[in-house]
Structure 1
Amino acid sequence: MPHAQTPDHSGAAITLGKIQPFGPNDLVLTTTAADPDGRLADRHSAYHDNRSPPLVWTPVEGAAAYAIIVEDPDAPRDLPFIHWLIWNIPGEATSLPEGLPNDASLGLIGGATQGRNDNGGIGYFGPRPPPGHGVHHYHFQIFALAERLPFGPETPLAELVSALKGEALASDDLIVTYEAAGA
């Protein structure tokens, strides 16, 4: 029986490519966790401390909540690797601190919900590209939402994407890079 080959990169679209916001798209996401070339600091990788990076964004008028999805389309698999799903960040929020706990519900962030990443855990799972696979690009995608989402932490990405299509006022994509040491 022939062995199925895994692609060098997923080739599939990330979430941002599937959603067209219906408001003025003036949302901008930034972080202090990347150097000027866009390389994410080691402490945020799963090879090191695996701490979620601090994030800051511009407020969007009328946003009831925000959602952030982090994907790696350079993963050697059919679909982009999901590193983080977090939604129902309060509409008045304009930042997330570094090192959020990997809990399904974050009371300190207004009850925001974190979903399951592709490593099998809840919350943030930092970059861990295979050694020798080169530089990977991590898309920190943020969506300003017209309404909060009624989903629990086990909600699959496809269901979130369907909801985001009807609720996204604005979006942005912050791309950072990471490469395994010795690669």
Structure 2
Amino acid sequence: MKQLKTGLIIAAVLCAAQSFAAEPAKFVLSSTDIAAGKHMKKAQEFNGFGCTGDDLSPQLSWSGAPAGTVAYAITAYDPDAPTGSGWWHWQLINIPADVTSLAAGAGKADKAPKGSQHIENDYGVAGFGGACPPQGHGVHHYKFTVHALSKKLELPATASGALTGYMINANSLGSASIEALYKRD
């Protein structure tokens, strides 16, 4: 009976220790410029196509990347664009693994981290292209995502959003997103 009691106590202690074991960090994306479910500022609006914003990519920071991350990719996508296939606003790949934040404006080619590569967005520009939904089209959702990659990607700067997305997802260890909003009346 004493052995059974001792065995139960040991089992209880082991179960308690297991429940307090550290869980893996959650991969999280944050920003000082945009927030989930909140409208972006005029600074993040495109300058062209009838829009008059500053075309400034938002500040982004991330933490808790999965083990084995070799590089990161950032994408910004508007699924509400009236194209039948959405609109890619930003595709930045091969961000070095030791980089865990981008300053506002890093969407400009000369401001991106060394070693990273901009892919042309749907405006035809290699870099960030801000929000520019058609006037009166209602609220659009802008999904900013950081992807942890298992390897660096080999893509031409003119790769389509579909090809870039395919390669990112084929080599993704995990991702974290912020979905911001924007509309023009």
1:138 lines up with 2:145 in the alignment:
no
| Structure 1 position 154, deviation (Å) | 1.2
So what's the TM-score if we normalise by structure 1? 0.78
| Structure 1 position 107, deviation (Å) | 7.5
Q: Higher relative contact order by CA 8 Å / sep ≥ 6: 1 or 2? A: 1
1:178 lines up with 2:182 in the alignment:
yes
Which segments of 5 or more consecutive residues in structure 1 lack a partner in the other structure?
Answer: 1-23
When structure 1 is superposed on structure 2, of 69-78 and 94-103 the one drifting more is 94-103
Contact 2:35-2:179 within 8 A present in 1 as well: no
Contact 1:84-1:117 within 8 A present in 2 as well: yes
Aligned residue-pair number? 156
The 1-side partners of 2:37 and 2:167 are apart by: 34
Amino acid across the alignment from 1:110: K
Q: Identify if the C-alpha distance between structure 1 residues 93 and 134 changes in structure 2 by more than 3 Å, giving closer, same or farther.
A: same
SS in 2 for 1:109: coil
| Structure 1 position 52, deviation (Å) | 0.6
Match of 1:168 in 2: 172
So what's the TM-score if we normalise by structure 2? 0.77
Match of 1:151 in 2: 155
> What are the within-5 Å matches in structure 2 for residues 17-166 of structure 1?
26-34=26-34, 38-46=38-46, 47-60=52-65, 61-100=67-106, 102-103=108-109, 109-166=113-170
| Structure 1 position 173, deviation (Å) | 1.9
| Structure 1 position 177, deviation (Å) | 0.4
The 1-side partners of 2:42 and 2:90 are apart by: 17
Root-mean-square deviation over aligned CA pairs: 2.0
Contact 2:31-2:58 within 8 A present in 1 as well: yes
Contact 1:85-1:124 within 8 A present in 2 as well: yes
SS in 2 for 1:138: strand
SS in 2 for 1:83: strand
Q: Identify if the C-alpha distance between structure 1 residues 31 and 148 changes in structure 2 by more than 3 Å, giving closer, same or farther.
A: same
Which segments of 5 or more consecutive residues in structure 2 lack a partner in the other structure?
Answer: 1-23, 47-51
The 1-side partners of 2:168 and 2:34 are apart by: 27
